[in-house]
Amino acid sequence: MSFLQDPSFFSMGMWSIGAGAVGVAALALLLANTDMFLATPQKAALEYLEDIDLKTMEKDAVTFKAKALWEKNGAVIMAVRRPGCFLCREEAADLSSLKPRLDELGVPLYAVVKEHIKNEVKDFQPYFKGEIFLDEKKKFYGPQERKMVFMGFVRLGVWQNFFRAWKGGFSGNLDGEGFILGGVFVMGPGKQGILLEHREKEFGDKVNLTSVLEAARKIRPQTSASEKQ
């Protein structure tokens, strides 16, 4: 048992424990930056989206079915993760840059939020050039809600997104729920269906704007019986 009295024995033991801890941390960091532990998004059915209850944002709110947004002319809809988030504001501004071309196509641009607190929606409006509605039951974030919490802050992609938005001059706050991931939909009118469904996989995972335009160009507006005559 004389080895127990040897200081080098304990030094070697502590070094081994430290090296093992560093190895475990490095492995955890590596795995966190893969998609292995990300929740797989469940595709939304048209019937599911059509039946969602939305509310207008004014004081005397009106409740209506979501299908009214795209029933005639289709629509591009952003499900906002958190209006005060500077990454969400960046994506809202990007989508709003498409507004002139969407207007040419006759396709409206909308957003839904999951809560209405303080001045969050009002402060978000300068970044988003479309109407905003409230989805209290968070249905646009389903059918299976996906959350990103602490893992989001160890993902390299998230930090790259942070830097990109910060470099672009965007800022925000920490008000409201921001862990339930959002997305972007391009909806065709009537039963044409879902032409694009982008589900945010991590904070700041923006939709591809070219894909949004390509999907919007596929929209075939509904014509009424009187218009056909």
- Provide the annotated active-site residues: 85, 88
Element (H, E) at 88: helix 86-96
Helices and strands of the chain, counted as H and E runs: 8, 7
Do the Cβ atoms of 177 and 115 come closer than 8 Å? yes
Give the span between the Cα atoms of 95 and 78, in whole angstroms. 9
In what order do the strands lie in the sheet containing 131-134? 63-65, 53-55, 131-134, 109-113, 75-79, 183-187, 194-199
Residues 6+ apart with CB under 8 A from 58: none
**What gap in Å lies between CA 80 and CA 73, rounded to an integer?**
22
Q: How far apart are CA 85 and CA 158, in angstroms?
A: 13
